[in-house]
Amino acid sequence: MTADEALKELSAIAFGLVEETVVVGTPIGAETVDRPVDPRTRMSAIKEILKRYPDNDRLLDAQIRRAEAEAVVSEAKADAIQTTGAEQERQDEQIDRLLAGIETIAQEERRKADEENG
């Protein structure tokens, strides 16, 4: 099965187009019945699709911004290594404030993403 075929199958399940065969007990014995897939299976298919095609994933955006900010901080620290004394302390304080701000923003973004994802 190719990735395209798998995506089509997941989409069909998510839209409720696929039926499953279920064995149902009757007074006479048992018989098979075709019925749409249950909501839990549909939700699972939807989650699998969203994993492959995230749309406006705030947590991912926050992680990217944080990584970019940490790269800037690393460059600033590398530049700070070349300085001495009071200037070094001032730069360290600025970097610490910047890191604290980044962490606060990342925590807020994670909280928002958690609230949206339930």
Considering the entire predicted model, what is its pTM? 0.40
The C-alpha atoms of residue 22 and residue 116 are separated, in whole angstroms, by 35
Q: What average pLDDT score do residues 23-28 get?
A: 83
Q: Note the Cα 35 to chain centre separation in Å.
A: 32
Q: Token digits for 105?
A: 């923003």
CA distances from 115 to 57, 109, 110, 112 (A): 13, 10, 9, 5
Q: Which residue type sits at 117?
A: N
Each domain of the chain, given as residue ranges in start order, spans: 1-53, 57-118
pLDDT confidence tier of residue 88, bands split at 50, 70 and 90: confident
Per-residue pLDDT tens digits for 56-85: 567 767 777 888 888 888 888 777 676 666
